[in-house]
Amino acid sequence: MKKMYLLLMMAFCMAGFSQKSTDTIRSKKLGIEREIYISLPPSYKQDTKRTYPLLVLLDGNYLFDPVMGTLNYANYWDDLPEIILVGIDQRNQRDSDCETSPATGLPENVGSDFFEYIGEVVATVQKSYRVGSFKIIAGHDLTAGFANLYLYKDQPLFNGYISMSAELPANMEENIPKRLAVLKKPIFYYHAAAEGDLPDMKDRILLFDEAASKISDPGLHYFFDNFKGKSHYSMVMSAIPNALYSFFAAYAPITTTEYNEKIAPLSSGYVDYLIEKYKVMQSALNMEVTIRQSDFRAIEAAILKNKAYEELDKLADLAKKNYPKTMLADYQRGMMYEKMGNYKKAASAYMSANQKDEIGPLTKNMMMDKVEAMKNMK
């Protein structure tokens, strides 16, 4: 009985995490079916109107599980958004899949067909699932270099690129930085090398980084890691979370460090900071996210700490937009009136909050206690 209880608890705990399934997608170009792995976000079936970013993994046969593990862990803490994950199995085929011309660096022979197949995979997944507009491709050594080929297009299929210890096709260390400098759409690019990479490979990666790091275009979000003490293979376990956390830095909740270093020192503009944080997600990442309750509390704490009570009114307007049926907006407005000594208006706002839905630590009993307290103030 105890064993059965533990098994049930394990199943219940895993239910909140995305699971891996296997499927096949037939390629018109390759003329065969290829195996792919798919993981849908935990909320996919419940939140039927929501769209999700897409991450396509080349070398999915060995990259899929570590990436899925990173996402499951980060989703638990709400540090990263939920993502539709697709991996393409390339075992025994990666050399022919990624064939490029030694002269031009462009795909040729089977490589040309595989390049088109990746587009077929994306199109099929988009028809089958609710894919948003933010799409990432990732690869390791040979496949990392191959993924960069999409940047040669005027309208690249992907917005984000995760390139781990890339084996770059001909002239790519010069050509891709030039492309990154002129592309008109926002691009997120993560590049990494390891101490254990082959010298020739690493030298070209560093030349790539030297050129790319000089680009000043605000539409380019470029990140680079050079891992000390890591092999060509072990670096993957460090690069995956670094890449995802770099791309989605704006998504993460306000941390203690962010609060202490960026928010608390402000003399004003606390609500503007919060609005701008979420605007980045909407404009660059094409994601709409409801402002977290914890982020409202962080901004509220900064306002109170710095006695910028007038900003509570603007914060209340923002709360009303994000949580219209809850007491959050009325509570914040009531707090503003209370701190500014207008106890009659404060009591009225707290009474209004009492008529709304409870949220987080805010309860109806708390609001009524506030109303009574305001009545006793002079």
How high is the pLDDT of residue 106?
A: 96
Q: What ranges in 85-160 are assigned the alpha helix state H?
A: 94-97, 110-128, 142-147
368: amino acid identity, one letter? M
CATH of domain 16-247: 3.40.50.1820
40: amino acid identity, one letter? L
pLDDT tens-digit readout, 138-191: 999 999 999 999 999 999 999 999 999 999 999 999 999 999 999 988 899 999
Give the residue among 248, 240, 166, 158 at the shortest CA–CA distance from 200: 166
How high is the pLDDT of residue 27?
A: 81
Identify the CATH assignment for 256-375 out of 3.40.50.150, 1.25.40.10, 3.30.980.20, 1.20.1090.10. Answer: 1.25.40.10
Are the C-beta atoms of 193 and 227 separated by less than 8 Å?
yes
Low-confidence ranges of the chain (pLDDT < 70): 1-18, 378
How high is the pLDDT of residue 8?
A: 36
Q: Cα dihedral sign for 100, 101, 106, 110? A: negative
175 contacts: CB under 8 Å, gap ≥ 6: 105, 152
Residue 303's alpha-carbon distances to 209, 300, 308, 335, in angstroms, are 41, 5, 5, 11
Domain boundaries, the chain: 16-247, 256-375
How high is the pLDDT of residue 262?
A: 94
Q: Is the pTM of this model over 0.95?
A: no
CA angle 219, 225, 228 (to 5 degrees): 175
Strand order in the sheet with 187-194: 20-26, 33-39, 84-88, 52-57, 131-140, 160-164, 187-194, 220-227
How high is the pLDDT of residue 251?
A: 86
CA angle 238, 244, 245 (to 5 degrees): 90
How high is the pLDDT of residue 281?
A: 77
